[in-house]
Structure 1
Amino acid sequence: MSTPGFPGGTAVSSLRVYDWEAADGLHGGTPHVHTASSEAYVVVAGEGEVHTVTPEGVAVDPLSAGSVLWFAPGTVHRLVNSGGLEITVVMQNAGLPEAGDAVFTFPREVMADPAAYAEAARPPREGPQEQRAERARDRRDLAVQGYLELVASIREDGPGALEEFHRRAVEVVRPHLRAWEEIWRERVEREAERTRLQLASLAAGDLGIMREASVVRTEARPGPRAFGMCGRLRTRRPVEPPGGGER
């Protein structure tokens, strides 16, 4: 059983943003950029900020319950938690961010070394909770270090510094593109093609996939929240209705 697919391979998860203090005194998540995927934040509780870097420069947007922000690929973003910040994350191209589309803003020397980058970016999925938390925080701190270096370079040298970072990010992801294409075909292209066929069915007066109408309830996956890039992450899974068919 699975949830209905959205064109674009859209995924939804809930995030409790880290309240760990960073080197610059701010509390929050791991700065990163997506090379191929758009993302949106829907704030459900708490307050904070999102710091972004685009060709237009460095910006800060306040966040509170009800705020909705979208990020195009290439937008460097960093979540700052001022207190109890919780977000619903809407992510395009489900599967690609987990496969490396989310590139961390590590310092230049780390991004230039594939082995060093892979080790620093490794998800904290094994070991006791305390050990996972320590690894997630170390990864966050390294990305904040690189982010602060990037911001300083942009303020000194202008937009060219961001383009240089983008080019380093491209080199990080290039080895993974063949695998990404398989994920894209399976999760994104398939749903777009399904919609195209439905439009053709409707034009012919046929019900098409309307015959498959359904409602799918989901539940939070059991166990502790995962240590994600920007906070404690909770994903969901579809559940069978009681009695195997009655909701």
Structure 2
Amino acid sequence: MVNLPNGIGVSGLEVYPWAASDGCHGGSPHLHTACTEAYVVVGGRGELHTLTLAGPATTPLLPGTVVCFTPGTVHRAVNLGDLRVVVIMENCGLPEAGDAVLTFPPEVLADPAAYAEAADLGPEPTHSPAAGRRARRRRDLAVQGYLAIQRDLASGDTSSLRALYDAAVSLTSARTTQWHRILDAGPAASLAEVRRRLRSLAEGSGTHLAEAKVHSQAAPEPDRRPFGMCGRLSPYR
């Protein structure tokens, strides 16, 4: 995931075509505890299935669609045909540092060791066939927990979603010290740099203009795309 200005992360995503137990094709339902995420649909078609305390919801995903969802939104990308999106993530680095929590069944969420084992893609490279098989098993387990919460919300019962929130806090609270360091090196540093430029302009100097440069990165190799939560990723260095 490349770090864009203001600490925004971006990566390509081809949503899994794998069928789940409910007949939907797609990725692993999960939530983020600190970061807002956005999808920019660039190809194919699909749906974003979400769970919040307001209940279950479905957002159509067609080329050109942009949809944002804030922390606590359980989301599931559903592939209705070659769904490809550009993922834009707030606070670049936090999702890779454990900000995402999968909707595993309650007994797995309650046991940090069991959760870590279920979420792990194994010792093989993350783009290997073995990692792909584990990613599919991980997705199936997350769908199992997701469907139970979805059924409860459809009947007006929010207790299982609230229990997921409690488990997510328990699983991630110890990581926040590390996350502060990521914020300081990313979004906070970017904001400080913008303030430096504004001071330069206010002083009539504009010395930062002479520091102009261009950054670019080539797309990752297709056969080395890792298995992410929702699909095959095209991350940048």
Q: Could you tell me the TM-score, scaled by structure 1's length? A: 0.89
Whether 1:49 aligns to 2:47 is yes
Contact 1:29 1:79 in 2 (8 A): yes
- Deviation at residue 5 of structure 1 after TM alignment: 4.5
Q: Alpha carbons of 1:125 and 1:216: their partners in 2 closer, same or farther (altered >3 Å)?
A: farther
Q: Alpha carbons of 1:200 and 1:159: their partners in 2 closer, same or farther (altered >3 Å)?
A: farther
Root-mean-square deviation (CA, aligned residues, Å) is 1.8
Mapping of 1:133-172 within 5 angstroms?
133-172=132-171
**Which AA in structure 1 matches 2:204?**
G
User: Residue in 1 aligned with 2:190?
Assistant: 191
Structure 2: gaps of 5 or more residues: none
> How many matched pairs?
234
Q: Alpha carbons of 1:182 and 1:189: their partners in 2 closer, same or farther (altered >3 Å)?
A: same
Q: Alpha carbons of 1:164 and 1:46: their partners in 2 closer, same or farther (altered >3 Å)?
A: same
Aligned to 1:47, the other structure's residue is in SS state strand
Q: Alpha carbons of 1:135 and 1:163: their partners in 2 closer, same or farther (altered >3 Å)?
A: same
Of the structure 1 ranges 210-219 and 11-20, higher mean CA displacement relative to structure 2 is found in 210-219
Contact 1:124 1:227 in 2 (8 A): no
Q: Alpha carbons of 1:208 and 1:72: their partners in 2 closer, same or farther (altered >3 Å)?
A: farther
Give the whole-Å Cα distance in 2 for the aligned partners of 1:176 and 1:123: 20
Give the whole-Å Cα distance in 2 for the aligned partners of 1:196 and 1:5: 17
User: Kindly, what percent of the aligned residue pairs are identical?
Assistant: 48
List per-residue Cα deviations over 1:19-40 (Å, max 9, x = no partner). 0000101000111101101111
User: Residue in 1 aligned with 2:178?
Assistant: 179
- Deviation at residue 160 of structure 1 after TM alignment: 4.2
**Which AA in structure 2 matches 1:220?**
A
Contact 1:13 1:88 in 2 (8 A): yes
Aligned to 1:219, the other structure's residue is in SS state coil
Aligned to 2:28, the other structure's residue is in SS state coil
Give the whole-Å Cα distance in 2 for the aligned partners of 1:60 and 1:234: 25
Of the structure 1 ranges 152-161 and 33-42, higher mean CA displacement relative to structure 2 is found in 152-161
- Deviation at residue 130 of structure 1 after TM alignment: 2.1
List per-residue Cα deviations over 1:37-72 (Å, max 9, x = no partner). 111101111011000112221100111111110111
User: Residue in 1 aligned with 2:37?
Assistant: 39
User: Residue in 2 aligned with 1:209?
Assistant: 208
Aligned to 2:224, the other structure's residue is in SS state coil
Of the structure 1 ranges 95-104 and 159-168, higher mean CA displacement relative to structure 2 is found in 159-168
List per-residue Cα deviations over 1:57-88 (Å, max 9, x = no partner). 11001111111101111111000001100011
Q: Alpha carbons of 1:12 and 1:4: their partners in 2 closer, same or farther (altered >3 Å)?
A: closer
User: Residue in 2 aligned with 1:73?
Assistant: 71
- Deviation at residue 4 of structure 1 after TM alignment: 7.3
Contact 2:3 2:92 in 1 (8 A): no
**Which AA in structure 1 matches 2:49?**
H
Give the whole-Å Cα distance in 2 for the aligned partners of 1:114 and 1:198: 45
Aligned to 1:74, the other structure's residue is in SS state coil
**Which AA in structure 2 matches 1:236?**
Y
Contact 1:5 1:191 in 2 (8 A): no
**Which AA in structure 1 matches 2:106?**
R
User: Residue in 1 aligned with 2:21?
Assistant: 23
Give the whole-Å Cα distance in 1 for the aligned partners of 2:188 and 2:136: 36
User: Residue in 2 aligned with 1:117?
Assistant: 115
Give the whole-Å Cα distance in 1 for the aligned partners of 2:157 and 2:213: 52
Of the structure 1 ranges 41-50 and 185-194, higher mean CA displacement relative to structure 2 is found in 185-194
Q: Could you tell me the TM-score, scaled by structure 2's length? A: 0.92
List per-residue Cα deviations over 1:92-151 (Å, max 9, x = no partner). 111110111011111111011010011111145615832111000001111111111111
